[in-house]
A = this chain, B = another copy of it.
């Protein structure tokens, strides 16, 4: 747990908060809000909006959550706004894959999982954490309110948004309701009376709409702060689950350690800035030094705040052992149901790979084996059509499947 340091002088707060930030609109506004907060003892209200659609958080999300945490540590209140109401609407045209409509139950389950993961990074005390749902106010809006809301913004300003202007000039259809979403998101800031809104750089436009709308509704405009989209382990694309270039924030400590050891060298400085509190001189020193040592420090620094209960030494030890080809002791176990066996009492290796969760389909599992990507109990396994007997699964210790260097599963049958 980091230290709580409320009532820090404004300059010190600014220096902490500005670290790693891309856009800050505007620093002067933030300075004023921080000063007034010090005078009145009233904490700032710092908003982060999220669609409850993708519940698995990774280090890319952690960049923003850490910034939220810094606000908390400085005594301010963060507001996690869940767009569960808008998620149940989704994209009514059905054309956008990123906005399939959810049932309210799905949205709530996603939100709960999202918040649980956020709590790995955020403080949970009610003085510094408020959780809200945009249905609270959007459900109340009628036709007249929406005309009033939309009257405050011009078409030209909405179409300035980069993706809209590109699609419009390319002749790619934009549905009218898509123009309403940025206004709605901006209206959330009005409803919450946010002082600051955080987001990735891709949210700059939407969050500036909120800033403009607050002014139109007679509120002091929010400060908009954006953070970079973290580049993933492939070194080129932004970190995302679908590209499999990510480190999940609730991964096992040794997996987090292993993932961070794989960060491409050119990204090291960026990872240090965004994911640790190390001072700039120390970062420069590490990046100039031996890359393995730099990665080691990065991994240990991240583990300290991301998995505060874990022993970094143990995580590192385990990582090293696996890297040398060893098999760790505490493997996740999968129990194979006897119904998986055929009449001859056996099951295909490909099927076991799927049951272990290492590949999504038998075909993918066979390809993994053909590509020499599977080890079984430490030995390379190359027979894509191979079978496993019941007895092998019932042995003491079961069957250990290993994909790549560091993904292990122990399979058993009872």
Residue numbers of A with Cβ under 8 A of B are: 85, 88-89, 91-93, 138-139, 141-144, 146-156, 158-159, 164, 168, 171, 173-180, 183-184
Which residues of the partner chain B approach A168 to less than 8 Å between Cβ atoms? 155-156
Assembly stoichiometry (copies): 2
With A and B bound together, what is the CA distance between A149 and B143 in angstroms?
A: 12
30 residue pairs A–B, Cβ–Cβ below 8 Å: A85-B143, A89-B144, A89-B148, A91-B151, A92-B148, A93-B151, A138-B143, A139-B142, A141-B142, A141-B143, A142-B142, A146-B146, A147-B177, A148-B177, A150-B175, A150-B177, A150-B179, A151-B175, A151-B176, A152-B175, A153-B176, A154-B173, A154-B174, A155-B164, A155-B174, A155-B178, A156-B171, A156-B174, A158-B176, A176-B183
With A and B bound together, what is the CA distance between A147 and B164 in angstroms?
A: 18
Q: Which 10 A-B pairs have the closest CB atoms?
A: A92-B151, A150-B176, A150-B177, A151-B177, A155-B174, A154-B173, A141-B143, A147-B177, A138-B143, A153-B176
What DSSP secondary structure best describes chain A's contact surface? helix
Are the C-beta atoms of A153 and B175 separated by less than 8 Å? yes
Are the C-beta atoms of A139 and B143 separated by less than 8 Å? yes
Whose C-beta in chain B lies nearest to the C-beta of A144? Answer: B89
Given A143-B138, A175-B155, decide whether A180 and B89 contact each other with a Cβ distance below 8 A.
no
Whose C-beta in chain B lies nearest to the C-beta of A91? Answer: B151
With A and B bound together, what is the CA distance between A176 and B148 in angstroms?
A: 10
Which residues of the partner chain B approach A148 to less than 8 Å between Cβ atoms? 89, 92, 177
- Output the least CB separation between A161 and chain B (Å): 12
Whose C-beta in chain B lies nearest to the C-beta of A93? Answer: B151
Which residues of the partner chain B approach A159 to less than 8 Å between Cβ atoms? 155
Which residues of the partner chain B approach A152 to less than 8 Å between Cβ atoms? 92-93, 175-176
Which residues of the partner chain B approach A183 to less than 8 Å between Cβ atoms? 176
Given A89-B144, A142-B142, A151-B91, decide whether A176 and B177 contact each other with a Cβ distance below 8 A.
no
With A and B bound together, what is the CA distance between A244 and B184 in angstroms?
A: 45
Most chain B beta carbons < 10 A, residue from A139, A143, A153, A158:
A143
Q: List 8 extra interface pairs beyond A153-B176, A155-B176, A158-B176, CB under 8 A.
A: A89-B144, A93-B151, A149-B177, A150-B179, A154-B173, A154-B174, A156-B171, A179-B179
Are the C-beta atoms of B142 and A156 separated by less than 8 Å? no
Are the C-beta atoms of A143 and B144 separated by less than 8 Å? no
Which residues of the partner chain B approach A180 to less than 8 Å between Cβ atoms? 146-147, 150
Whose C-beta in chain B lies nearest to the C-beta of A137? Answer: B143
With A and B bound together, what is the CA distance between A9 and B143 in angstroms?
A: 43
Whose C-beta in chain B lies nearest to the C-beta of A155? Answer: B174
Which residues of the partner chain B approach A143 to less than 8 Å between Cβ atoms? 85, 138-139, 141, 146, 184
Which residues of the partner chain B approach A142 to less than 8 Å between Cβ atoms? 139, 141-142
